[in-house]
Amino acid sequence: MSMEVGLPAERLTRTRPAPKPGIVHLGLGAFFRAHGAVYTEKAIAASGGDWGIIGVSLQSPGMRDRLAPQEGCYTVLELGPEGETASRVEVVTDVLVAREDPARVLEAMADPAIRIVTLTVTEKGYCHEPASGALDPAHPDIAHDLSEPLPRSAPGYLVRALELRRARGLRPFTVLSCDNLPENGRMVRGVVLDLARRIDSDLAAWIEAEARFPATMVDRIVPATKPEDIARLEEIAGWHDAAPVMCEPFSQWVIEDDFVDGARPDWGSAGAELVDDVTPYEHMKLRMLNGTHSALAYLGYLAGHETIADTMADPVLARFAGHLWTDEIIPVLTPPPGVSLAEYAAALAARYSNPGIRHRTWQIAMDGSQKLPQRLLGTVAENLAAGRSCRGLMLAIAAWMRYVGGIDERGAPIEVKDPFAAKLRALSDSAEDPAAKVAALLSLRAVFPEALAGQLQEPVTRAYEGLVQNGARAACAEVAR
C-alpha cells in the first residue's frame, strides 16, 4: 500500500472495537509492543477472551501522548533481509502515566477484570542488587515506597495493588516479568515479597501463598525507533504512525505455565511455548544471545562500529563471536530438549548480520552494570570452576571497563548511560594504570561478588592492557586466532 503523491498520510486508528482489558503492562516500551502485545493480539484472534492491555508508563508521558490520538493502535514493521512487512496492533486499550496519577494506576491494577500484570521495566526497574537479585532497600524509590502509600517503583506498584486486592477480597493477579533476567519470575517474586514484608507481614504471607510469578524467556531484536523510521513507514504502509516499532522477523516466547487460577490468554496458539521449566531456554538465550550481544556492543563500539550488523560485517569481530559461542559459552550450557546449541549459534549469527536491523552498539551498551552479572559473569564463573580459560569473556569485561571510563580509543568522549555511570567513571579515573583501574571497578560489589572479583583481577587486567596497547579489533583477533 502506498500514498498518492501530495496527499497526507491517514492517521492510524482502530479498525475494530477495543477488547476488554485483562492485562496491565508496566513499562510500555518498544520491546513489549513488538513482542508480548503481538502474541496477545494473535491469541485473542485465535481463541477470544478479554485480554486487552492497559499500558503504564512509569515515568514519561511520551508514549501516552503518541498513542492516545491513535486510540492505542500502532504498527509493527518487521525488517527482514529481503524486505519489510507492516502490520497493525490494536490490543492496547489505554495508556496511563504513573507519575501523573499513581492512584489511577493502582485502581486499574486492582480491577477484578485484570488477571495478569506484565512488566518490561529493564534490569534497573526492579530496584534490586544485580549481583544477588535481592531488593535494594536503600534505592530512593524503594525508600519512598516504604513510607508513602502511592508508589514510584515497579515493585511498589505490584505490592500496593496486591494490597488493595486483598483488602477488597479479590484474588491476586499473576505477575509476569518479560525482562531479560535469569529466573526472572523467582527474582521478581523475591523482590515483591521482601518489600511486602517490610510493609505488612500478613500481606506478604497472602502474596506468597496465593500469587504466581511464572518465569519467561523472551527473544526478539527490537532497535530503537528513529524519526526516519516514521517517515519510511508512511511510504510503505500509507498511514502516519507516531509510535511504530521496528523489529526482526524472528520472535520467541517461552513461558512457565503457572498462573493464578490458570487464567491467561491462549498464547500457545500464537506461537509461544508453555513449559514446566524455562531455565534451560533462559540460560541458552541470556548467555548465547544477550551475552554475545553485550560483548559485541562494547568491543564493536570501541572498534568504531555503529551497529551489530556492522560489527558482524567485520570478519575479525564475527570470528570472535563464533569463538565465544563455540569455545566459551556452549561448553557450560545444558540445551533445552531437542535444541542444537550449534544450530542456535548459527541462527544468532544470521540474525545479528541482518542488514535491515540497525541495532546500535551504543543502545545495547546501556545499563551494563545491571546486565553483566546475568549475561557474562555466570558463564565466566562456571568456566573458571571447570578450570577452563575464557579469554574472550575476560576481554568483553575489560571492554566494558574501558567503555565506562568514558573515553574511546580515539580519545573521543563516550555518553555512558548507566545507573552507576558517575560512580563507574570516578572509579576508573581514580586509577592510572590498567591493573589499578580493573581493581577499582572490580570493587563494585553490586556487580562483582567478592569471590569472583579476586579471580578476575589478573585475566581482566591482561585483557585491558591488550585493549589499551592494540585496540579492540586487534585484541579480538588475538583471542579468536
pLDDT in tens, 97-144: 999 999 999 999 999 999 999 999 999 999 999 888 899 999 999 999
Q: H or E element: which one contains 479?
A: helix 472-479
Question: Of 241, 276, 311, which residue is a domain's last?
Answer: 276
Domain count, the chain: 2
Domain edge (last residue) among 276, 309, 335: 276
pLDDT of residue 82: 82
Residue 420 lies in a domain: yes
Quick one: pLDDT band at residue 8, thresholds 50, 70, 90?
Answer: low
Q: Is residue 453 part of a domain?
A: yes
Domain co-membership, 366 together with 313: yes
Check whether residue 188 and residue 215 sit in a common domain: yes
8 Å CB contact between 24 and 56:
yes
Q: Domain residues for 331?
A: 279-480
311 and 264 share one domain: no
CA distance linking residue 58 with residue 52, whole number of Å: 19
Give the residue-averaged pLDDT of 406-427.
96
Residue 290 shares a structural domain with residue 256: no
Q: Is the pLDDT of residue 462 over 90?
A: yes
Compute the distance between CA of residue 318 and CA of residue 316 in angstroms, rounded to an integer. 5
Predicted pLDDT at 1: 38
Whether residue 15 lies inside any domain: the answer is: no
* pLDDT tens digits along 240-280: 999 999 999 999 999 999 999 999 999 999 999 999 999 99
Instruction: Please tell me the predicted confidence (pLDDT) of residue 291.
Output: 97
Q: What is the pLDDT of residue 198?
A: 97
Query: Are 308 and 260 in a shared domain?
Result: no
Establish if 367 belongs to a structural domain.
yes
The answer to whether residue 103 sits within a structural domain is yes
CA–CA distance, 199 with 144 (Å, rounded to integer)? 12
Answer yes or no: do 239 and 356 share one domain. Answer: no
Under a CB-based contact definition with an 8 Å cutoff, are residues 131 and 94 in contact?
A: no
CA 156, CA 191: separation in Å to the nearest integer?
10
Amino acid at 98: A
Dist CA 351 CA 308 (whole Å): 10
Q: Which residues fall within 8 angstroms of residue 306, CB to CB, at 6 or more apart? A: 358, 360, 361, 362
Cβ-based neighbours of 272, under 8 Å, separated by 6 or more: 39, 253, 254, 255
Pick the closest to residue 130 from 450, 460, 456, 449 (CA basis).
Answer: 449
Q: Is residue 187 part of a domain?
A: yes
Query: Which amino acid appears at position 325 of this protein?
Result: W
Question: What CA–CA distances, in Å, run from 251 to 179, 219, 228, 453?
Answer: 15, 6, 24, 36
Read off the pTM.
Answer: 0.90
* Contact of 132 with 143, CB cutoff 8 Å: no
- For the chain, the distance separating the N- and C-terminal CA atoms, rounded to the nearest angstrom, is 49
* pLDDT of the residue at 100: 97
As a three-state string, the secondary structure of 201-264 is HHHHHHHHHHCECCCEEEECCCCCCCHHHHHHHHHHHCEECCCCEEECCCCEEEEECCCHHHCC
Q: How far is CA 210 from CA 213, 230, 276, 367, in A?
A: 10, 44, 19, 33
Based on the fold, state whether residues 316 and 370 are members of the same structural domain.
yes
CATH for 45: 3.40.50.720
Task: Mark whether 303 and 241 lie in a shared domain.
Answer: no
Q: State residue 174's pLDDT score.
A: 99
Confirm if 12 and 72 have CB atoms less than 8 A apart: no
128 & 251 share domain: yes
Q: Quick check: helix, strand or coil at residue 296? A: helix
Mean residue pLDDT of the chain comes to: 95
Average pLDDT for 169-194: 96
How many CB atoms within 10 Å of residue 16? 7
* Average pLDDT score over residue span 274-296: 96
Instruction: Tell me, yes or no, whether 201 and 328 share the same domain.
Output: no
| 143 and 209 fall within a common domain | yes
The C-alpha cell at 147 is 513510607
99 with 228, same domain: the answer is: yes
Query: Considering 261, 276, 291, which residue would you say is the last residue of a domain?
Result: 276
State how far Cα 451 lies from the chain centre. 27
CATH number of the domain within which 421 lies = 1.10.1040.10
One-letter identity of residue 331: P
Q: Is residue 45 situated within a structural domain?
A: yes
- In a domain, residue 143? The reply is yes
Q: What percent of the chain has pLDDT over 70?
A: 98
Pick left, alpha or beta for residue 172 (phi over 0 → left; psi -120 to 50 → alpha; otherwise beta).
beta
The average pLDDT across 193-222 equals 98
